[in-house]
Amino acid sequence: MNIPTKYNPNEVEDKWYEYWMKNNYFHSTPNEKEPYTIVIPPPNVTGVLHMGHMLNNTIQDVLIRRARLRGYNACWVPGTDHASIATEAKVVAKLKDEGIQKEDLTRDEFLGHAWDWTHKHGGIILDQLKKLGASCDWERTKFTMDDDLSESVIKTFLDLYEKGLIYRGYRMVNWDPEAKTTLSDEEVIHVERTDKLYYVKYQIENSNEFVTIATTRPETILGDTAICVNPNDERFKHLVGKNVIVPICNRLVPIIEDDYVDVEFGTGCLKITPAHDMNDKEIGERHELDVIDILNDDATLNDYGLHHKGKDRVVARKDLAKELEEMGIMVKIEPITHKVGTSERTKAVIEPKISAQWFLSMKDLAKPALDHVMNDDIQFHPAKFKNSYRNWMENVRDWNISRQLWWDTRFLPIFMVKE
């Protein structure tokens, strides 16, 4: 036998991978031997191999090859997932290069392009894993959008819905009115800028007394559903439980108490607009307040805007300020420097917007999953991760399982006014 003086990995590696594939060593079927199974953390179907994958899959291949040598029926199931948001962004970018705007396409047309993309670029990462030597059972390759896996997902949704664990709820999303899309928190850039802070007084029902609030967005007054004060604030103690009249729309809303309000900040009175502010929404939930959304998707005012209907939020802001001044209830206007969320892509100011979502109730589901990790039925390596796992599971929040398609997000105005 002629043994080369130098070891040449590139030739040798392709040769042996082919040999292993040809002889079907990676394939596993149930037999009398003890199984040793790993499922791959599915990478994104359109992704390419990065160093994190290299580390992760080297370790998995070491484990599976060792198990194979030690006589186990070793089975490493490979596959990919569709991680919709990332894939979608790539398809949109590709279409843009071809001069096609996503708005010009129907859902089905867009899906067609998305699938073309997936088929063209999908699986590159799996081929790259072969270069690394990954001894996956390729006959078992799965994709989260395969028919049987999709069926599993829908079946699970129905089951959890029947069990009463899936429900419809409302959540604040970051709305980019220019791109008409929801953004993840990571896509929102907070920038410092100077705006005006408007002090407006609201009259108490059946009284000549007023309370003064401060806001940078007077147009949202039309969506107010409460005024909130701190329970320890002696100045307003006598007003709690009474109603105030929201200016312009003359809506009667209650004065409520909540620890969230900072006695020292502003006037100590907070207007609550659950549809347009994250914190207001939480206060609104605690006090079961009405939610009134005053904006259209393009950030113009809807029917709740009354005679300002159709105006852009920025125009409406000025006009409303003027109207409030004319009514004699604008106490003062001060400059304020604060942080404002803007879209990473369009630079537009983000509009916090409430939207209907699907949630999975997690508390009961999480119980066994917490116990079996804490008692080491499932072992974490290194074990230090048990701590953060417990923290999360003990304070688990319901899972928002729905995602919006950013060319097809229809925010109908939400009217959740109590009977």
Partner 1 sequence: MVGHQIPAYFYGEGVNDFVVGKDIEEALEKAKEKTGNTSITALDLKQDPDVLDTWFSSWLWPMSVFDGINNPDNKEVNYYYPTNDLVTAPEIMFFWVARMIIAGYEYKDELPFKNVYYTGIVRDKQGRKMSKSLGNSPDPIELMKLYGADGVRVGMLMSSPAGNDLPFDESLCEQGRNFSNKIWNGFRLVKGWEVSESIEQPEASKIAIKWYKEKFQETLKSIDTSFEKFRISEALLSVYKLLWDDYSSWFLEMIKPEYQQPIDTKTYTEAILILEDNLKILHPFMPFLSEEIWHFIAERTPEEALIVAEYPKHELINNQLIKDFDLVQEVVSNIRNIRKDKNISFKEEIELSVVENAQINKDFDVVIEKLVNSSSISYVNEAVESALSFRVNSNEYFIPMKGSINVEEEIAKLTEELKYNEGFLKSVQKKLSNERFVNNAPEQVIANERKKEADALAKIETIKASLNSLS
Residues 366-385 that bind partner 1 (CB under 8 A): 366, 368-369, 372-373, 377-382, 384-385
94 contact partners, CB below 8 Å, separation of at least 6: 113, 117
Q: How far apart are CA 200 and CA 333, in angstroms?
A: 9
Q: How far is the CB of 283 from partner 1 (least distance, A)?
A: 21
Cα separation, 314 vs 300, in Å, equals: 9
Q: State in angstroms the smallest separation of the CB of 103 from partner 1.
A: 14
Q: Count residues contacting partner 1 (CB under 8 A)?
A: 118
Residues 162-201 that bind partner 1 (CB under 8 A): 168
Q: Is residue 138 part of the contact set for partner 1 (CB under 8 A)?
A: no
> What token pair was written down for 310?
């159709």
Span interacting with partner 1, options 186-194, 223-231, 329-337, 356-364, rule CB under 8 A: 356-364
Among 106, 116, 126, 128, binds partner 1 (CB under 8 A): 128
∠ CA 175-301-319 to the nearest 5 degrees?
115
Quick one: 86 or 327, whose CB is closer to partner 1?
86
d(CA 276, CA 304): 13
What one-character DSSP code corresponds to residue 4?
-
- For the window 297-336, what string marks contact with partner 1 as x by the rule CB under 8 A? ----------------------------------------
Q: Minimum distance from CB of 166 to partner 1 (Å)?
A: 8
User: Which of 274, 269, 271 shows the shortest CA–CA distance to 284?
Assistant: 274
Question: Does 402 contact partner 1 by CB under 8 A?
Answer: yes
Q: Which of residues 52-71 bind partner 1 (CB under 8 A)?
A: 52-56, 58-63, 65-71
The two beta strands, 330-343 and 269-272, are unpaired
18 binds partner 1 (CB under 8 A): no
Q: Any idea of the CA torsion for 213, 219, 222, 223, to the nearest 10 degrees?
A: -80
Range in contact with partner 1 (rule: CB under 8 A) among 106-114, 228-236, 277-285, 317-325: 106-114
CB distance 20 to 48 below 8 Å: no
Distances 165 to 48, 148, 169 between C-alpha atoms, Å: 37, 23, 12
Using CB under 8 A as the binding rule, whether residue 392 contacts partner 1 is answered as: yes
Residue 281 found at the interface with partner 1 (CB under 8 A) = no
Total residues belonging to the chain: 419
CB of 57 to partner 1, least distance (A): 8
Residue 34 Cβ vs partner 1, minimum distance, rounded to whole Å: 10
